[in-house]
Amino acid sequence: MTTTEGTHSRPVGDGASEDWGPSLLPGSEEYLEDPRHYGIEHGAPWPEDVPHGQNDMHWRYDDDPRGARRAELRVAACWTVTLLCGIGLAWVYVAGGQTQVEGGLFALGFGGLGVGFVLWARDLLPGHDVIASRGGLTHASEESDRRLAVQSLGRGLEPMARRPFLAKMLGGVLTVFGISLLFPLASLGPAVDGQFAVTAWRRGIRAVNEDGDPVRPGDIEANGILTVFPNTGEDPGSPAMAQSSVVLINLASAPFEVRPDRKDWHIGAVGSQSCIVGFSKICTHAGCPVSLYNWSAHELICPCHQSTFRVLEDCKPIFGPAPRNLAQLPLAVDDEGYIIARSDFNEPVGPGYWNRPIRVNPNTGAAVEYS
């Protein structure tokens, strides 16, 4: 139903409106010709854009039961497609999944559902466009309007009750298709528990570059950066190593603010030509690798959404959506002059989702407690 703002107000609570509704049989000639049926004041001329005299009790196949039956079967056929797609989706998923096939089944399933609804509305539900004056906007609905609305709703429900087969089938199809849509939830995998709270860094583990070669402080030029990984024997380029990736930064003589509880986490004296610090490369917004370094401002920038971290202030975010600092890795140099970790990070790396009360044993990296 559409409404239009007309110049005619609907009947107000006078004596005439008391007869409104129950005394008029919907679909009767009297009902259809009464302007109040269209929200037009009694006796007012019909606006040009308000059709009248239409029988909204009319069905497309009112006089053709066989045609109605065929229409019903067409709707049922569409929903059968949806039903089969739901079963197919479940089967494909259990059989190992195939993204393109699953996408096609989703599309076909929703398409069948939609086309079925359209056919049902076109062939089996009564109706036509009804345009009524909006009336005054400053007062509540008249009792007569409310009765009309209830009558209209009743007329809309009746044709649905006429087709119990379709109603039951729709319930079954929605149940099966709905359940099949839940299957992908299994792809969310097991609960992550504390596995994202630790990385592969441990006390004494050497930092290696992407070729697997151990790194010395002198390998990082002044104002340069280098991405390193823990030397665990795993391929540094493997996905398992991504969470442990660290960016080493040679701050040269920049005035890095050392936190009192992190006095020995950097290599070289602050202010010297080769002060090296290490921070997690995983952005605390959505986990992209923070790989751009503006050495003149000492800022690390995430290319995904431009979060910017000020290195000299403990890599705190100064721009963009990242909610917290990049985690700092405690560094040292071993007897052979290679860069090592003093421990794992002492906080979770990566997106702020993990930013909740947590405690990690920095020596073992294994004990994780959520409070």
Give contact residues for ligand FES (rule: CB under 6 A). Answer: 283, 285-286, 288, 302, 304-305, 307, 320-322
Residue type, 164: P
CB of 349 vs ligand FES, minimal distance in Å: 13
Nearest CB to ligand FES, comparing residues 275 and 302: 302
**In whole angstroms, what is the distance from residue 153 CA to residue 144 CA?**
14
- What is the token pair recorded at 284? 């605390």
Residue with tokens 């059989």: 95
**In whole angstroms, what is the distance from residue 177 CA to residue 187 CA?**
18
* CB atoms near residue 165 (< 10 Å): 13
CB of 323 vs ligand FES, minimal distance in Å: 10
Count Cα neighbours of 125 within 13 Å in the Cβ-side half-sphere. 20
**In whole angstroms, what is the distance from residue 237 CA to residue 211 CA?**
9
Residue with tokens 């079967």: 73
Contact in structure between 276 and 333 (CB atoms under 8 Å): no
Three state DSSP letters for the chain = CEEECCCCCCCCCCHHHHCCCCCCCCCCHHHHHCHHHHCCCCCCCCCCCCCCCCCCCCCCCCCCHHHHHHHHHHHHHHHHHHHHHHHHHHHHHHCCCCHHHHHHHHHHHHHHHHHHHHHHHHHHCCCCCCEEECCCCCCCCCHHHHHHHHHHHHHHHHHHHCCHHHHHHHHHHHHHHHHHHHHHHHHHCCCCCCHHHCCCCCCCCEEECCCCCECCHHHCCCCCEEEEEECCCCCCCCHHHHCCCEEEEECCCCCCCCCHHHCCCCECCCCCCCCEEEEECECCCCCCECCEEECCCCEEECCCCCCEEEHHHCCEEEECCCCCCCCECCEEECCCCCEEECCCCCCCCCCHHHCCCEEECCCCCCCEEEC
